[in-house]
Structure formats: structure tokens, C-alpha cells
Amino acid sequence: MEMSLKALPLGIIGTVLAVAGLIAYSLTPDLLWAVTIAEGLALLCLVLFFILHFDAVKAFSSRRSTHMGANSLLMILLVTAILVIVNFLAARHSIRWDLSENQNFTLAPQTYRVLRSLPQDVKITVFTREKDPGYTGYKERLESYRQASNKLTVEFVDPERQPKIAQNYGIFRTDTAIFESNGQTIRITSPSEVELTGALIRISKPAKKRIVFLEGHSERSLEDKERNGLSLAKEALSKQGYDIGTLSLLKDAAVPDDTAVLVLAGPRNQVTKEEQDRIRTYVDKGGHLLAMIDPDTKTELDPLLAHYGLGLGQGVLVDLQDRLAQGDLTSLLVRTFTEHEITQDLTAAVLFPLARHLIFDEQTGKDWDYVPLARTSPNSWAETNMQGRVVSLNENEDVKGPLPLAAALAPQKAPEEGKPRPAIVVIGNSTFATNAFFNFPGNTDFFLHTTGWLAEERDLISIVPKEPALRPFIPNPTQERTLLYIQVLFLPIMTMLTGVMVWRKRRRL
């Protein structure tokens, strides 16, 4: 046996296997099992070679010429071995630092949750060229995605060099990514995190949850792309993996059973008693309602909300502290949130132009958990007389703050096993979700957090991507005055005093 092993060129076989394993790993890193087998056999062959030819190696090492070059050879071998080990470890367990100003390539916590909860493998084919604007974005972000989940397979295809593959996928433009999983196919055309993660959410769900917007009462339109429309909100919800639709309870006798969330987006006209009864039936059966109701509207929704202990306060909220510095007194910049699943990840203020406050009757709503999500500051009130310019609180007519303008309701008693749990969120403003304000820092997050909580997507409440967008510092009136005093008064005075002191000191010399 020993003679037969010695007759084999183990050294050559081991070297060939080692080199072949490295080449295979560089070409097809996904076939890690084959690379591991090749490298293991290479190590075994080399170890056997040195064991079986130990005498020859010993005789060789005893030569004078060998002694002279032994130190150099040993150092070369050690350095080579270290470099090979370091490179292999770096390839398998690379460490990356995101030094971009806005942390463009640091994934949001919600994205990590999506990647950890992927139920099956997902193949991503990106059709792009190195000269295309989206190439770097896809490359950087998908590398972060791939490192966070071993269920992702990413392949880059140049449609000019491989036109047949592009034709098979029906690609007519570059910078297009195709997501494939479990027979489903989704394509996106932007390397932004919200697009990538939204595609993963959609393709990993067996069925889309449906969000329905009530219409027929002059509500804000999902198709309206002007300032007062909700087209941006609809687009954001679609990217989150929801199926968006509309409903008229003047025509339909009930809210469809597959409705995950029913949205009342700023109705301005009366919602009839029959419609309210149908909404109430839907909620009592385990439905989820989002009501965004503006001040000075004649919706007549008080009977529906009163059933759950809620009421709509009169007047318009005014805040001398939490508001836009150069805006109207009614342009609230709310920064005070209550601890809740909806508000737990909010980091930016939410802009509510022209909002109303909410009232809760603990006796009527004793079976419900009431959580005021957002409040005005103590230096606020509900102005009941908007004639002329509002500058002060009228103790006899107005309602002193702080006041809640958004609230969540959920039943205290857990539902029976197998039955859905109803939930309600009421917001005294719908303008914050319109195209004019949707991209304001905080507004997008608050809207998506709310719909995510109602749709029972609590593990995926909102994707908050770190896009390369300008996030300006927006001071409230107090901060604005402080900056004014520091920049216009304090700094010039300090500079002048310093100059006088230096001048007097030099004069004494």
C-alpha cells in the first residue's frame, strides 16, 4: 500500500486540486461544497506527500544549499499562507464600513427583518452595464443584501453582451432587476432600498393584503397627481407589497371580507347612516379602520366614532411651540409621540397642516385600549374662532393643550382563537398624506407605520430607506429665535469684545 501511494504524484495532484478549488471559488462562489471538497482533498494529498516522502524531504533539508535558502523560503511560504488565509476569510466574512454622508449603503432595520424572514430562495437578475447610472447602486446594495441572507442569489447580466437572456426576460431598458421566487416574477427599475425591499416583501408573500379607500364623499383621490392627491401614498403602499383599491358603500352592501384596511382619506361630505353601519359591521367582525378627518368638514361621522368612545374636537389646533417657524400657526410640526408600535421607530417630526384634536370617553370606550399617538405641545390650544389672525388663547372659548390629534384603538380583550382582532386609528388631518407633504421627513414614516400596524404587518412596519436625500434642519419658532440671537447678536458682540481686548493688550506693550 505504501509503495502504491508513493508511486502516485500526490504533490502534483494536491497542488492542482488547491489551484482548481481557488479558481472554482472565484468563478462560482455558490458551489461552496465543491470548493470545500477540492481544498480538503488537496490538503490530504499534500499531507500524505510529506509523510510518505519524509526521508527525502529530510535529506533535502540537510544540504548546505538548502540551509542557505531555508529562511527565505520559509518566510515566503508563511507570508503566502497568511495572505491566502486572510483573503479566503475576507471573501467569506467581509467587513464593510459605510462612510457616505447619509449612510446610503447601510440597510434599514426593517430591511434586515425582511431578509431574516424570507420563506424561500429568491433569485435576482440585474440587467445593467458598468456605464449605466444604476450599476453602482445595484452592486453596493445587493452585496449588502446578499451578506445579510443566504437565500438570495444575485446575477448581473450585460444586455448588450448577452442579448438572448435579455430577450427571454423581455428587457427593453437597462438598470432593471428581476426578482424570481416560487413561480412569481417582479421587476423594478431603481436600485433604491425601498424598491429592493418592497420587491422582496411582495415576492415572499403568498397573497397580497388589500387596502381599500372609501370614495363617494369628496375624498382625496388615489389617482390625483396634484398637490391634494394621494398618488404618492398609493405608490408607497404598492411598493410595500399591498394591493390598493377603492370602494363605494353607496353601491356595495358591505366591506369585502378580503379588506385588510379600510381607509377614509379626508371625506368632506356626509357619510350616510347606512354606510356607517356597514363600516361598523366590518370593524366589529375584526376589520381595521384608518380614518383621516380634517377640521371644518361635514362628514357626520360622530355616531360611528362615538360607538368606540371617540369624538372629533371642534376648532383648529394652534401651537406656538411645535410648528413651522415661518409657517402659519396652524402648521403643526408634531414632535411628541406616545410609546406604541406605530411610533416606536419615528425619528423625525410629522407635519400636520390644519388639524383637529380628538376626544375619548373612557366610559363608552371602556372595552378598548386607547393610545394617543401624537400630541401638541403644552403651549397649544384648539381655536374655535378662526376669524382674523390667531395670536392668543381665549380661555372662555378655546380648548387648552396639550391635545391629541392621532389615536389608536384596540380591544382590551383578546379575540377568540382563529378570529381577527379589530383595530382603529383616527387622525385629525388628511393633508399630511397628500402629495404636497408626503415626502416631508416623518410624514411618510407615520403613514406607513400606521397602515402597517393596521394590516397586522407588525414585523415589517414600514421600510425607512436611507435615500441620498437632503434632510434640512427645520427649526420651530423657539429654535429660530435662539439661532437669531446667537448669530446676529452674541457672536458679533463676542468678536468685537475679543478685538477690543487684543487691541488694549497690544497697546500696553
Q: What is the enclosing helix (H) or strand (E) of 135?
A: helix 135-148
* Rounded Cα–Cα distance for residues 393 and 382 (Å): 9
* Rounded Cα–Cα distance for residues 390 and 406 (Å): 23
CATH entry, 109-188, from 3.40.30.10, 3.40.50.12500, 3.40.50.300, 3.30.9.10: 3.40.30.10
pLDDT in tens, 156-191: 999 999 999 999 988 888 889 999 988 888 888 888
* Rounded Cα–Cα distance for residues 352 and 347 (Å): 16
Yes or no: say if 191 and 137 are a contact pair by the CB < 8 Å rule. Answer: yes
Domain 209-460 CATH superfamily: Class I glutamine amidotransferase (GATase) domain (3.40.50.880)
Name the grid cell of 34: 465543491
Amino acid at 318: V
Q: Domain spans of the chain?
A: 2-92, 109-188, 209-460, 480-509
pTM of the entire predicted model: 0.65
Residue identified by cell 454622508 is 101
Q: Which of 307, 375, 367 is nearest to 340 (CA)?
A: 375
Tell me the pairing of strands 288-292 and 423-427: parallel
- Taking only the tens of pLDDT, the chain with its 509 residues reads 444 555 567 767 777 777 777 777 666 655 666 777 777 777 777 677 767 766 665 565 555 554 555 555 645 654 464 456 446 545 544 555 554 555 555 777 778 888 888 889 999 999 999 889 889 889 989 998 988 888 999 999 999 999 999 999 888 888 899 999 888 888 888 888 877 888 888 788 777 889 999 999 999 999 999 999 999 999 888 877 789 999 999 999 999 999 999 999 999 999 999 999 999 999 999 999 999 999 989 999 999 999 999 999 999 999 888 877 666 788 888 988 998 989 887 778 899 998 999 999 999 999 999 999 999 999 889 988 766 655 678 888 889 989 999 999 999 988 888 788 999 999 999 999 999 999 887 898 899 889 989 998 765 455 554 444 445 555 655 666 677 778 777 788 888 888 888 888 887 76
- Give phi and psi for 313, each to the nearest 5: -70, 150
Phi-psi bin for 286: left (phi > 0), alpha (psi -120 to 50), beta?
left
Yes or no: say if 212 and 247 are a contact pair by the CB < 8 Å rule. Answer: yes
* Rounded Cα–Cα distance for residues 399 and 382 (Å): 5
* Rounded Cα–Cα distance for residues 269 and 271 (Å): 7
